[in-house]
Structures are given as C-alpha cells and as structure tokens.
Amino acid sequence: MFETEVCEGVLQVCRPSTLWLSSGWQGGTQQGATAYNISVPEGWDRQDLDSYVRERQERAGFYREGPTLLTGVNLSHARGARYGPVTVYATAGVSNPGVLPSEPPASSQSDATKEPDTDGGTVNLIVGSERALGDGALANLLAVVVEAKTATLLAETGFPGTTTDAVIVGCDPNGQPAQYSGTATPVGAAARACTRDALLASLGSRYPNSEYPATLEDAEYGVQTTVMPDVFTV
C-alpha cells in the first residue's frame, strides 16, 4: 500500500523502492520511496525551484528526495481513490484552463493571452500501482491517467485541462508483474476509475457549488490554442 502524510502544505506519498515517472518539474524516471505535491501560497513567484522545494520539504520534516509537483490548490482539497492495485491522489483547480477548439479561430493570436496562474489552478495527480510495470507500461499508464483526467474535466467543467497540469505515476518493481496497462487491463481500468473519482472529489471540495468558470473569458487565467498548422498527406 502507498502511505501518505500531509504537513506544512506538503503531501508525501511513500512506498519503498517505487519506480516513478513524472511529467512535472524535473520530470522523467527515478526510483525512490517518495513523491510529493506541494501547495504554494497566493502570489508565489519563486524561480529557484530546487531550493524552494528543498526548503518546503525540510520545513515539513520530509528529507527524502523524490519527484515533486507544485500547485496553487490548498491541500485541504486533496482527495484519494483506491481500487485493486491502484491508488490515485488528486488536487484540482481550474482558474487557468487550457482550451483547444475543434476548429481554429478565424483570427490567430498568441496562445499566451493571460499570465500563468499560481493562485488556485493546476490539476495534479499522483498515481501508485502495486503491480510491477515495465518502462512501456509505466509510460502508457501515464497516458491512460491523462486521458481519464481530460475526459473527467471535460464532462465536469467543460475544459480539457489547465495550463499547468502534471502527473506522477509509480509502480512497485517487486510486485506482481503486469505486462500491459491499457484501458482494458486491470491496472488501466483501476487507474481510470480512481483518477475520475479522486479528481471529482477534489473538484467537489474546491468548488462545492460547481462554480467553475463558464468560459475562458470568465476564467481568472488561461489560454486558447490559436495557432494554425499546415496539414499534409503522408
């Protein structure tokens, strides 16, 4: 089982010798006991992230290194879901949505129409599997989780994600082997359901009356993709 502790605005997810894959800050693959989700204060503008992360972890009494996510969402809104071999921990805010229209707007503009949000936005997910996954299956699990996150956010908020979403997935290299992690497998199906339910629970805590921005214009921050690529036959 993955164990958690929250202290001083830092969530520590712990299981010995876990293989982690992160899409967040200083992401990639690493092995260790811990992964973190750190809530940053309103108006946060630190650029020295290495030092900042170490300061926050040490202030919380956590001294082991591990992949780390940062969020403007208070950890009182963190929620988890568990099924079978998978556990998911979520924090969710949608003040900085990232919109992708199915057809490009008539007039192309820069994507960076608003400043990135650090006050209440970001959807962060930490996912743990008790099954041993190979490199490909671990990477695919991250894709499965992102797909589930996108589907859930679209259904609940109308937005596919925010400008700063990030995911950490981890597995027990010494657990029962699972060759695949697609949506039809036990690991993939559990990850999809847990992602949906943990995310909905965090959104329900953060927005108890479902007071999401109705449109991009209503959001405090956010962007719409407006670039117009050249499409060609391969």
pLDDT in tens, 190-234: 999 999 999 999 999 999 999 999 999 999 888 999 988 999 999
Q: How far apart are CA 61 and CA 65, in angstroms?
A: 12
91: left (phi over 0), alpha (psi -120 to 50) or beta: beta
> Quick check: is 189 in a domain?
yes
Domain extent for 78: 3-224
Q: Residue 233 CB: number of other CB atoms within 10 A?
A: 3
> Quick check: is 229 in a domain?
no
Positions in the chain whose pLDDT score sits under 50? 108-119
> Measuring CA to CA, which residue among 216, 212, 214 is closest to residue 226?
216
Quickly tell me which residue has 């009182």 as its tokens: 76
> Measuring CA to CA, which residue among 149, 169, 167, 168 is closest to residue 159?
149
Helix (H) / strand (E) containing 191: helix 186-206
Residue pLDDT, tens place only, 170-188 = 999 999 999 999 999 999 9
- Name the domain count of the chain: 1
pLDDT at position 115: 44
> Quick check: is 230 in a domain?
no
Q: How far apart are CA 96 and CA 221, in angstroms?
A: 4
What's the CATH code of the domain at 154?
3.60.70
> Quick check: is 234 in a domain?
no
> Quick check: is 70 in a domain?
yes
In Å, how far are 133, 135, 180, 226 from 139, measured between CA atoms?
A: 9, 6, 10, 29
> Quick check: is 179 in a domain?
yes
> Quick check: is 31 in a domain?
yes
Helix (H) / strand (E) containing 145: helix 135-157
pLDDT at position 112: 44
